[in-house]
Structure 1
């Protein structure tokens, strides 16, 4: 299993996994939220309120065989300059010359099996058995957009600059991801690829810098509205993002859900000011100050706890309590200090924050670089019409008792899907050690460091030792996954995590604890409570 809301179905090979994904997608099984195909697996995200795990497993078994005819997809031609930094090394690993590698890469028939890693990144396989090369021992911190690489049995093109460990054999000017296209990914599952030599000068495809923008937000869940007011950033916090419920349903294009890291705070902020639950809000880390210009409205803070004030143009100050709506007038300033408890403040305003949408959402995905850019000093943030909000204000002054740095919280974890890749001692250490949130954490994930045993004087570093070495074929990842890189220190994936990953996941934090996890500041410590598995894990085929 992948989590309390996910099943990772494992298959004998890529072809079987692809057929199963087609069959399940065509079946339209009730309760299935998303299907994420990968090299040997299909991750099934489901809603347990709509279907039980046992019933879902039964239905998946009934619909496991897909139609091979559905695999036929469009053909694209991608011009490549074969001058990659790893071309000679990859050729040596494959036992051929660089010229032979390029010739066979051009001659092979490539087909995109699945997407992942980043929006528009397609994992393509070929009819030539030559291509099976390991990733680089040390990944690069930055691979340029358009780099063509090899890893395992796959070839792929990096859609944007990002870290990566693939063997780079060339580069292309073809645009892998363009939100103005339909679909925005050039390489969707089923696409047939023909690589061609690019002209020595110029490029066959002009790189597009366009960005698709949709309606400027939907403050009440109804029709889009024009901005009637705006915040100006007087003092920016360490991070200020626009967030909503995110982009569910696009995992097959390599796009994660993203959205508000603390979904409870999003819901509470919108309820306090009378918006629809998923209206766009501001998500802030650190102290900041905004000034409002526009018609009379309502504002509320939720999430992390700390001092905040509304400051009238005449200098009159009013302290703001979390969860309580406050009147907001033209010229008012809103100021807040760094939180005393928790990490992320959510700021909701009646009428909602308005921003261009990508794939139906105004959420800022920091890993994929989708949605509005982080807000900076002097930026103007558009605000919708307060009259368009569909509900009355609903105060909620009850505190959530979020943790401060140095305090300990308990999170429930379901072991799997790859706990068998770790030693029994590692699985015990996950539960018996305390895990400190390090300052290198962000919206992609909490980077954790193992420390002392619960209730003992024993301290010192701990690492999760693996029992199985080697590379794990890329497979789907869920929010809450505890992925363990080679250093043995787990990373707890949050809202902006990649859709697929190649490091084993020892366990997954329960969905009900994810909002708390998103509020853990650096220095907070986690105790993981191992929950019983809902059912035994087993391959579907």
Structure 2
């Protein structure tokens, strides 16, 4: 095993091959380690999220290094049969790479039994191992910007099915009409780790298709799942009518943790401290749902009497009455609105995102235990649109409105360079020594292609790799700085994919994640490594003798 630093609350365990990875995963699931919150397995790694208040990287390394990897994991008893139309746009190219006919590719793919090794990339996306040994093909050199839902693909020795339309670099050999992800099911992800999978050529079928133990075919390729709509206000209850949405306004809370087994990342507010403050100011629980809006333009009209608080970015706030009177109100304190009053948020002068909490909380239905909107995975309440009526819940008895506070003193803006502390790893050694130095010395511009998934950065000189090979997909954390072939990093934010296939040179330290979530487009970043990159060595971390 190798133990690689990721950030102050996560480490990466690297193993020799998939069998060892599954053996260690089974061991850690049978006998969990205290302080570990979540495990994200991949082809040759396990990402371990832990609570620093409960354990340490050193203690985890010692415990994990002592685990027995000799026991191989047996395949599960559940068999899922997936019908496939083998007409994918890369089928001929795959046949050419393997020097066989397209018909032989289909025969080998449908003639093997697979096992769900792990999940990631997107909700319901399963990495399937154990197919015909000859089916080993590289990812596409240039990923497609859109692959349809249900696309069946190959990458390396793995096979997989895209649960929703998304970008991707796998070689597409067919498509299935079966839904991989359906929020209408008790278990939304059709394929779970350990399940057995067999692909069936639709051309060979006659009549109804037997789906095996679980799953059901659907008439057309379906998206990732229907997202819940906002609950309208009950008759006579207070509500907010959306008169303007700005660039994007979504519901967020502290995120949906613990769903990695279904390929679902946490999402949640980009500036979690600001969300907690907004809720405190109106007397709500700190983890309640609030609105997150980018830039200016959000307008909310009060139906009945309401109390709101706006935190996060430093933006001007205006209240306008139905008869046309208007005045400015401060942020970071509770604001009472009368029936018909409209609160408007202007363009921030510092920061990028504002958070709006309403006394009593929003009447919005959670999805998988959270009201967070994951814009990449398409999970959670839909983004707000003009005309939506947002119902509010009554405030609980005894709820106390919080005292006014001030915006964060270090909100990023485009006038000054934003410095973010980073932890180097886990793949810093995949880059040349010059590039590691350049990563910290050079400043990076936040491009307009940035969003809740990540900040796309542009520097004068790209980062160069020392190891040119392909990295097997592995778990990624919030704040990871992944470097694609262009050499221009992407800083992963709240809606980042659970796993990624490009090396991560470092990760923003947890104490600067809220700041990263407030960086506006056009700002300049510098990264400050808070230590050298070093593997976590189990022998060197042994406690000293008394």
TM-score (norm 1): 0.92
Superposed, which structure 2 residues align to 1:165-180 within 5 Å?
165-180=169-184
Tell me what 2:544 maps to. Answer: none
Cα 1:187/1:402, change in 2 over 3 Å: same
Tell me what 2:542 maps to. Answer: none
Alpha-carbon displacement from aligned partner over 1:250-302 (angstroms, at most 9, x marks no partner): 11211110010111111111111111011111111122243434443311111
Shift of residue 311, structure 1, vs aligned partner = 2.3
Tell me the distance in 2 between the aligned counterparts of 1:389 and 1:483: 47
Q: In the alignment, which of 413, 424, 428 is matched to residue 433 of structure 2?
A: 424
Shift of residue 233, structure 1, vs aligned partner = 1.7
Q: Is the 8 A contact 1:20 1:66 kept in 2?
A: no
Q: In the alignment, which of 372, 376, 380 is matched to residue 381 of structure 2?
A: 372
SS at match of 2:38: strand
Q: Is the 8 A contact 2:372 2:380 kept in 1?
A: yes
SS at match of 1:299: strand
Q: In the alignment, which of 260, 264, 267 is matched to residue 258 of structure 1?
A: 267
Tell me the distance in 2 between the aligned counterparts of 1:361 and 1:66: 39
SS at match of 1:354: coil
Q: Is the 8 A contact 2:126 2:161 kept in 1?
A: yes
Tell me the distance in 2 between the aligned counterparts of 1:524 and 1:408: 7
Shift of residue 213, structure 1, vs aligned partner = 5.3
Tell me the distance in 2 between the aligned counterparts of 1:538 and 1:73: 38
Tell me what 1:325 maps to. Answer: 334
Tell me the distance in 2 between the aligned counterparts of 1:55 and 1:73: 35
How many residue pairs match? The answer is 523
Q: In the alignment, which of 351, 359, 362 is matched to residue 350 of structure 1?
A: 359
Cα 1:70/1:352, change in 2 over 3 Å: farther
Shift of residue 381, structure 1, vs aligned partner = 2.1
Tell me the distance in 1 between the aligned counterparts of 2:399 and 2:88: 55
Q: Is the 8 A contact 1:214 1:358 kept in 2?
A: no
Using the TM superposition, name which of 123-132 and 5-14 deviates more: 123-132
Q: Is the 8 A contact 2:154 2:160 kept in 1?
A: yes
Tell me what 1:130 maps to. Answer: 134
1:185 is aligned to 2:197: no
Q: Is the 8 A contact 1:275 1:389 kept in 2?
A: no
Tell me what 1:206 maps to. Answer: 218
Tell me the distance in 2 between the aligned counterparts of 1:449 and 1:38: 29
Shift of residue 444, structure 1, vs aligned partner = 0.5
1:18 is aligned to 2:22: yes
Shift of residue 536, structure 1, vs aligned partner = 3.3
Q: Which runs of 4+ in 1 moved over 6 A?
A: 200-203, 214-217
Tell me what 1:525 maps to. Answer: 524
Q: In the alignment, which of 13, 26, 36 is matched to residue 40 of structure 2?
A: 36
SS at match of 1:17: helix
1:315 is aligned to 2:324: yes
Q: Is the 8 A contact 2:281 2:403 kept in 1?
A: yes
Q: Is the 8 A contact 2:243 2:301 kept in 1?
A: no
Q: Is the 8 A contact 1:216 1:357 kept in 2?
A: no
Tell me what 1:536 maps to. Answer: 535
SS at match of 2:443: strand
Cα 1:28/1:330, change in 2 over 3 Å: farther
Q: Is the 8 A contact 1:10 1:539 kept in 2?
A: no
Tell me what 2:66 maps to. Answer: 62
| Unaligned stretches of 5+ residues in structure 1 | 218-224, 451-460
Tell me the distance in 1 between the aligned counterparts of 2:47 and 2:154: 24
SS at match of 1:442: coil
Superposed, which structure 2 residues align to 1:285-300 within 5 Å?
285-300=294-309
Tell me the distance in 2 between the aligned counterparts of 1:143 and 1:275: 42
Shift of residue 404, structure 1, vs aligned partner = 1.5
Q: Is the 8 A contact 1:258 1:495 kept in 2?
A: yes
Tell me the distance in 2 between the aligned counterparts of 1:229 and 1:472: 53
Q: Is the 8 A contact 1:180 1:212 kept in 2?
A: no
SS at match of 2:197: strand
Tell me the distance in 2 between the aligned counterparts of 1:346 and 1:252: 30
Alpha-carbon RMSD? 2.4
Tell me the distance in 2 between the aligned counterparts of 1:65 and 1:44: 17
Tell me what 1:274 maps to. Answer: 283
Superposed, which structure 2 residues align to 1:330-479 within 5 Å?
330-387=339-396, 390-397=399-406, 399-450=408-459, 461-479=460-478
Q: Is the 8 A contact 1:176 1:186 kept in 2?
A: yes
Tell me the distance in 1 between the aligned counterparts of 2:73 and 2:412: 53
Q: In the alignment, which of 143, 155, 161 is matched to residue 159 of structure 2?
A: 155
Tell me the distance in 1 between the aligned counterparts of 2:235 and 2:437: 55
Alpha-carbon displacement from aligned partner over 1:209-247 (angstroms, at most 9, x marks no partner): 764759969xxxxxxx99933222212201111111111
Shift of residue 21, structure 1, vs aligned partner = 1.1
Alpha-carbon displacement from aligned partner over 1:465-484 (angstroms, at most 9, x marks no partner): 10110210000000010000
Q: Is the 8 A contact 1:321 1:397 kept in 2?
A: no
Q: Is the 8 A contact 1:231 1:290 kept in 2?
A: no
Cα 1:466/1:534, change in 2 over 3 Å: closer
